[in-house]
């Protein structure tokens, strides 16, 4: 019997009665790299937060690895948007990655040598081990994003959620991040990424969730990027895309 | 010298010293979390909001500790409730709720017709610390320090990246109110030393000074506690020697340390930044 990584059934979410997303149902199998795309205000981050069980649902169900989110929290890793973080916080790169070991530590236990070693390995994977003693604000945007990816790796999760990981990130960091996400997919992990635009979507992901309050398209990248489906989501906002061969 | 001799001789001064040192430590420690969470205003609000609790406790003849914690935490909940359930912004909600609590406290105290007590609660009078006050402060201090030690991981995660904490299953709301409870306890413990009005300075000034001196939270907590102690002792000295309100002298000592650090901190100080800018510009000519 194979597990379903993420299954969403008729999900509705609103903020004080203002509808954010409606009628979303989909199933993601393990090993997929899924992009969530859609115009501004389409409810992309809302969908992500609902999957993580961070906001109340009006209706519907979300299951991760066939279980309610509550029961599998330790198998989930989340990478926040870069501007949600206080980069002046007095924390070093290594300590930030060490936070990733916290979910598996027993209560009242501090990370020890083993955890430190593991955090350094995760930092090495994203090519940031030389920066372990820096304060996080001293890094460039791309480096910061790589550190947070290292933190997610340190969580040894099965499902990864990333909110806009490519905003304000240099090309080589972007390449490193994509490479690691693809490796995770090959290891049978599931990766869900909120992505701000359509560019490179076909290179990065193998499945897309196209959202505009409701689910406009879901499936392989090729299927979803058909221009008709895109037009329905963006309703002309992306008319210029027509000439770009997507 | 005279101050040292006086400490050897007078028991009331020993009590004052011990109490001030403990207040310096716990305010410094909790203050770090308060400023990193951007809750300096919240600290001010909660410290004022304990007043009605203190007053009612006096009236009922129970230990003011319980009343103070009750009214402090209740105000914290009310602030959160209003800002989460309306378009009212958080700082506005804070302003409404803590002034309401403070006003209620003043009315109760006036009804008790005890203006000297009010003066001491508002501004502190460390030289009049009784043994029971000292023990309350020491006891509270031990509890607060233990709590921070045991839940350091949870406090660190939720201060730095609350969403991550929530995503892996931490009860972030509960931790917020837990910290508010600790904050209220620290406020109550500091009542005799610095008074309600100036507690917030002991919470944020040493912590802010430490923030300019290090890039690691664990070290920041120790520096902040140390600065709190130095401020408390120096403040006590001036209060005793020149017969000044202890709250005011302690806060002035903390502020002096802040100004020195603001100017001369090796990494984040103003002077150092100016020198670096000037060097850079000179190298471009």
With beta carbons less than 8 A apart as the criterion, state whether B45 and B199 touch. no
**pLDDT digit string (tens) for B160-170?**
999 999 999 99
Number of alpha carbons in the 13 Å side-chain half-sphere of residue A50 = 26
Nearest chain A Cα to B151, which residue?
A108
Inter-chain contact A74–B168, Cβ cutoff 8 Å?
Answer: yes
Residues 96-155 of A with CB under 8 A from B: 96, 99, 102-103, 105, 108, 110, 135, 155
Integer Cα distance of A79 and B56 in angstroms = 47
Cβ(B168)–Cβ(B185) under 8 Å?
no
- Supply A238's token pair: 């992306």
Q: How many angstroms separate the CA of residue B1 from the nearest CA in chain A? A: 39
Q: What mean pLDDT, rounded, does chain B reach?
A: 91
Average pLDDT, chain A: 89
- How far is the alpha carbon of A72 from chain B, nearest alpha carbon, in Å? 9
Q: Is the pLDDT of residue B123 over 90?
A: no
Q: Given this model, what pLDDT does residue B115 score?
A: 62
Of B38, B167, B211, the CB nearest to A78: B167
Residue B100, pLDDT score: 96
pLDDT at residue B237 tops 60: yes
Mean pLDDT, range A211-224, rounded to an integer: 87
Question: Given this model, what pLDDT does residue A243 score?
Answer: 43
Architecture of domain A6-244: 3-Layer(aba) Sandwich (3.40)
- Chain A positions touching B159 (Cβ under 8 A) are 89
Q: Which residues 164-223 of A are in CB contact (within 8 Å) with B?
A: none
Collect all residues of chain B within an 8 Å Cβ-Cβ radius of residue A77.
167
Q: Are strands A207-212 and A190-194 parallel, antiparallel or unpaired?
A: unpaired
Lowest model confidence (mean pLDDT) among B5-9, B49-53, B175-179, B250-254: B5-9
CB contact under 8 A, A99 and B167: no
Mutate to test the interface with B, among A90, A101, A149 (most CBs of B within 10 A): A90
Q: HEC profile for chain B? A: CHHHHHHHHCHHHHHHHHHHHHHHHHHHHHHHHHHHCCCHHHHHHHHHHHHHHHHHHHHHCCCHHHHHHHHHHHHHHHHHHHHHCCCCCHHHHHHHHHHHHHHHHHHHHHHHCCHHHHHHHHHCCHHHCCHHHHHHHHHHHHHHHHHHHHCHHHHHHHHHCHHHHHHCCCCHHHHHHHHHHHHHHHHHHHCCCCHHHHHHHHHHHHHHHHHCCCCCHHHHHHHHHHHHHHHHHHHHHHHHHHCCCHHHHHHHHHHHHHHHHHHHCCCCCHHHHHHHHHHHHHHHC
Q: What is the mean pLDDT of residues B95-122?
A: 84
Residue A124: per-residue pLDDT: 96
Q: Please give the radius of gyration of chain A, using alpha carbons only, rounded to the nearest integer.
A: 18
Q: Which of B161, B167, B220 sits opposite A90 (nearest CB)?
A: B220
- Rounded distance between C-alpha atoms, residue A181 and residue A239, angstroms: 30
Q: Which fold has domain B2-200?
A: ABC transporter involved in vitamin B12 uptake, BtuC (1.10.3470)
Q: Which residues of B touch A46 (CB under 8 A)?
A: none
State the residue for tokens 């979910």: A103
pLDDT tens digits for range A105-146: 988 889 999 999 999 999 999 999 999 999 999 999 999 999
Provide the pLDDT for residue B191: 83
pLDDT tens digits for B52-88? 998 898 888 888 888 988 999 999 999 989 988 888 9
The answer to whether the CB atoms of B160 and A54 lie below 8 A apart is no
In the DSSP assignment, the letter for residue A75 is G
Alpha carbons A173 and B74: distance in angstroms, whole number = 47
So what's the pLDDT on residue B192? Answer: 79
Residues on chain B touching A95 (C-beta within 8 angstroms): 216-217
Beta bridge mates, A220: A207
Structure confidence at residue A236 (pLDDT) = 56
A-chain residue closest to B164, CA distance: A78
**Chains A & B: contacts with CB separation below 8 Å:** 67
Q: Spell B126-143 as b/e; 16+ CB within 10 A means b.
A: bbebeeebbebbeebbee
For residue B36, give the nearest of A84, A89, A110 by CB distance: A89
Looking at beta carbons, which residues of chain A come within 8 Å of B164?
78, 80, 99
C-alpha pair distances (Å), B168 with each of A96, A152, B116: 15, 11, 51
Q: A68 — contact with chain B (CB < 8 Å)?
A: no
CA distances (Å), origin A25, targets A22, A60, A214, A215, A240 = 9, 9, 9, 8, 30
| CA pair distance B38, B204, nearest whole angstrom | 10
Whole-number pLDDT of residue B121: 80
Contact A80 B161 (CB under 8 A): yes
A244: closest CA of chain B, how far (Å): 37
Residues of chain A contacting B168 with CB distance shorter than 8 Å: 73-74, 76, 78, 102-103, 155
Q: Do A73 and B167 touch (CB under 8 A)?
A: yes
> For the segment B255-280, what is each residue's pLDDT rounded down to a tens digit?
999 999 999 998 888 998 888 889 88
- Nearest one of A188, A126, A95, A77 to B153, comparing CA atoms: A95
Closest CA to B79 of B41, B107, B117, B109: B41
Nearest to B151 by CA among B65, B41, B30, B42: B30
Orientation of helix B115-123 relative to helix B90-112, angle to 10° = 150
Q: Does the distance separating the beta carbons of A78 and B217 come in below 8 Å?
A: no
Residues in A closer than 8 angstroms to B157, CB to CB, are 99, 102
Q: Which residues of B touch A155 (CB under 8 A)?
A: 168
Over residues B197-202, the mean pLDDT reads 90
* A230 min Cα distance to partner chain B (Å): 31
Q: Would you place residue B196 in the very low, low, confident or very high pLDDT band (cuts 50, 70, 90)? A: confident
Give the mean model confidence (pLDDT) for residues B150-160: 96
Is any Cβ of chain B less than 8 angstroms from the Cβ of A156? no
Arithmetic mean of pLDDT, B106-111 = 87
Mean pLDDT of B226-246: 93
Query: How high is the pLDDT of residue A134?
Result: 94
Q: Each residue of A21-50: pLDDT tens digit?
A: 999 999 999 999 999 998 888 899 999 999
Q: In what order do the strands lie in the sheet with A59-64?
A: A18-28, A6-15, A59-64, A67-68
Quote the Cα angle for B24-B27-B29, to 5°.
Answer: 105
Task: Please state, in angstroms and rounded to a whole number, the distance separating the CA atoms of residues B144 and A226.
Answer: 60
Pairwise CB contact (< 8 Å): B160 & A52: no
Position B235 pLDDT exceeds 50? yes
CB contact under 8 A, A96 and B157: no
What percent of chain B is modeled with pLDDT above 70? Answer: 98
Q: What is the pLDDT of residue B59?
A: 84
> Cα separation of B176 and B181, whole Å?
9
A192 pLDDT more than 50: yes
**Dihedral over Cα of A123, A163, B163, A66: its sign:** negative
Asked if residue A239 has pLDDT above 70, the reply is: no
The band of B129, judged by pLDDT with boundaries at 50, 70 and 90, is confident
Which strands, in side-by-side order, build the sheet including A33-37?
Answer: A76-79, A159-163, A190-194, A33-37, A207-212, A214-220
CB contacts of B152 in chain A (<8 Å) are 110
Q: How far from chain centre, in Å, is Cα B70? A: 18
Q: How confident is the model at residue A246 (pLDDT cuts 50, 70, 90)?
A: very low
Report domain extents, chain A.
6-244
Closest CA to A129 of A115, A110, A111, A150: A150
Cα dihedral sign, A223-A224-A230-A232: positive
């Amino acid at each position: 019997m194979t597990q379903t990584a993420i299954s969403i059934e008729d999900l509705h979410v609103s903020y004080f009665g203002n509808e954010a997303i409606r009628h979303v149902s989909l199933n993601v199998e393990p090993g997929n790299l899924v992009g969530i795309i859609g115009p501004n205000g389409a409810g992309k981050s809302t969908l992500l937060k609902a999957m993580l069980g961070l906001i109340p649902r009006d209706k519907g169900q979300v299951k991760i690895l066939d279980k309610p989110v509550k029961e599998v929290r330790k198998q989930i890793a989340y990478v926040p948007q870069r501007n949600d973080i206080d980069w002046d916080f007095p924390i070093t790169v290594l300590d930030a990655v060490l936070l990733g070991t916290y979910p598996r530590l027993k209560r009242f236990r501090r990370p020890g040598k083993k955890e430190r070693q593991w955090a350094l390995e995760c930092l090495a994977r994203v090519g940031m081990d030389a920066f372990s003693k820096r304060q996080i604000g001293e890094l460039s945007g791309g480096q910061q994003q790589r550190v947070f990816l290292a933190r997610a790796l340190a969580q040894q999760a099965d499902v990864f959620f990333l909110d806009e990981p490519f905003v304000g990130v240099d090309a080589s960091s972007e390449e490193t991040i994509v490479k690691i996400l693809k490796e995770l997919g090959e290891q049978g992990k599931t990766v869900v990424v909120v992505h701000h635009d359509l560019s490179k979507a076909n290179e990065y992901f193998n499945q897309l969730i196209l959202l505009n309050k409701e689910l406009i398209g879901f499936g392989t990248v090729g299927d979803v990027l058909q221009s008709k489906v895109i037009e329905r989501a963006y309703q002309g906002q992306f008319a210029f895309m027509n000439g770009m061969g997507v | 010298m005279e101050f040292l001799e006086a400490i050897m001789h007078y028991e009331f001064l020993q009590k004052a010293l011990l109490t001030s040192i403990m207040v310096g430590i716990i305010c410094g420690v909790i203050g770090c979390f308060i400023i990193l969470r951007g809750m300096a205003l919240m600290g001010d609000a909660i410290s004022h909001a304990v007043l009605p609790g203190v007053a009612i406790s006096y009236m009922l003849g129970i230990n003011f500790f319980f009343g103070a914690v009750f009214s402090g935490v209740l105000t914290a909940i009310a602030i959160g409730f209003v800002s989460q359930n309306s378009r009212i912004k958080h700082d506005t909600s804070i302003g409404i709720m803590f002034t309401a609590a403070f006003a209620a406290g003043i009315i109760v105290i006036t009804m008790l017709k005890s203006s000297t007590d009010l003066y001491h609660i508002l501004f502190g009078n460390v030289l009049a610390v009784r043994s029971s006050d000292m023990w309350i402060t020491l006891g509270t201090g031990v509890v607060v320090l233990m709590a921070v030690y045991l839940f350091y991981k949870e406090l660190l995660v939720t201060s730095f990246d609350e969403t991550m904490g929530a995503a892996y299953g931490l009860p972030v709301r509960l931790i917020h109110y837990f910290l508010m409870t600790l904050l209220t306890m620290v406020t109550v413990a500091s009542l005799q030393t610095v008074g309600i009005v100036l507690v917030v300075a002991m919470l944020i000034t040493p912590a802010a000074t430490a923030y300019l001196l290090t890039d690691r939270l664990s070290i920041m907590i120790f520096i902040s506690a140390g600065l709190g102690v130095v401020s408390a002792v120096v403040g006590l000295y001036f209060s005793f020697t020149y017969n000044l309100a202890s709250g005011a002298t302690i806060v002035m000592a903390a502020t002096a340390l802040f100004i020195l650090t603001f100017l001369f901190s090796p990494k984040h100080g103003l002077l150092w930044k100016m020198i670096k800018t000037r060097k850079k510009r000179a190298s471009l000519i």
